[in-house]
Amino acid sequence: MCLRCLKYLPGMGRVLAGFAGLCLAIALSGCEREQRAFPQPADAKLMPQTLRQSELQPGQPAQPVGRGEHLPPPDYQAKYENNAYAVSQGRRLYRWFNCNGCHANGGGDIGPPLMDDRWIYGGEPADIYTSILHGRPNGMPSFAGHITEDQLWQIVAYVRSMSGQLRIDTAPSRSDNLQPAEPESRRERQDMRQSAPPKEHS
């Protein structure tokens, strides 16, 4: 609250008492309007690199693009992408959460394909995690509140297997359902294109 404003109020005449409430309201709001919060040195740090969604970095030397809000846990590779059990759990969960209803078995349907080299919001583990957790504006729903962190990283690892990003000995090699395509372990690794023309839908 703005105490500098309040100290003038007792000096007002009694005849203005009825007016005072209104004045107080205006004074208070006006006072807040003029208030400035000066950044403390501790708050003045640069925004973290991990929020970046664009390759363009104006006025900066080229740096690796770090994207996504949620960095994978330090043991992500060992615990998820290099672990056949985790990837296979991710595959089951991909179906249980009806991911396949929109992305099919990687070829896409309502949503875009996941087996190709084009990633609208990035194909790094952190990007995929962010897409699933928070959703994306053109149709990707947010699964926040419906899924545990461990399950989510498992799905991320499986999704990356669809475009051949995983070791062949951890990527799934057969389907429990209709065999829709070459097994994930047989797929050629797709280079994740960052300069691909944008798709209009996620």
Partner 1 sequence: MSWLPLIAGCWLSFPGLSFANAFAGEKDGEWPMAANNYASTRYSALSDINTANVHTLKPVVTFSTGVNRGHEAAPLVINNTMYIVTPYPNYLYALDLNKPGAPQKWKFDPQPQSAAQGVACCDFVNRGTAYAEGRVFINTLDNQTIAVDAEDGKEIWRTRMGDIKTGETMTMAPLVVNGKVLVGNSGGEFGVRGWLAALDAKSGKELWRAWSTGPDKDVLIGSNFKPYYASDRGKDLGLTTWPGLSWQNGGGNVWGWISFDPALNLIYYGTGNPGPWNPEQRPGDNKWTAGIFARNPDTGEARWFYQFSPHDLHDYDAINENILIDAPVKGRERKLLIRPERNGYIYVLDRTTGQVLSADPFVRVTTSAGVDLKSGRIRYNPAKEPRVGETIRDICPVSPGAKDWQPSSYSPRTGLIYIPHQNMCQDAQSYNVSYIAGTPYVGSDTRMYAGPGGNLGVMTAWDPLSRKKKWDVREPFPVWSGTLATAGDLVFYGTMEGWFKAVDAQTGKLLWQFKTGSGIVGQPISYRGPDRRQYIAVLSGVGGWAGALVSGELDARDATAAKGFANAVKTLPAHTTRGGMLYVFALP
Asked if residue 107 binds partner 1 (CB under 8 A), the reply is yes
Q: Which is nearer to partner 1, 6 or 193 (CB)?
A: 193
What is the dihedral sign for C-alpha 124, 130, 133, 135?
Answer: negative
**x/- contact string, 35-64, with partner 1 (CB under 8 A)?**
------------------------------
157: Cα separation from own chain's centroid: 16
Strand (E) or helix (H) holding 149: helix 149-162
Identity of residue 197: P
Asked if residue 164 binds partner 1 (CB under 8 A), the reply is no
Q: Residue 177, CB half-sphere, CA atoms under 13 Å: how many?
A: 8
Q: Which is nearer to partner 1, 167 or 201 (CB)?
A: 201
| Residue from 167, 186, 189, 201 in contact with partner 1 (CB under 8 A) | 201
Q: Residue 136, CB half-sphere, CA atoms under 13 Å: how many?
A: 21
Tokens of 73: 């846990």
| Residue from 68, 72, 111, 125 in contact with partner 1 (CB under 8 A) | 111
Asked if residue 104 binds partner 1 (CB under 8 A), the reply is yes
| Residue from 102, 168, 183, 192 in contact with partner 1 (CB under 8 A) | 102
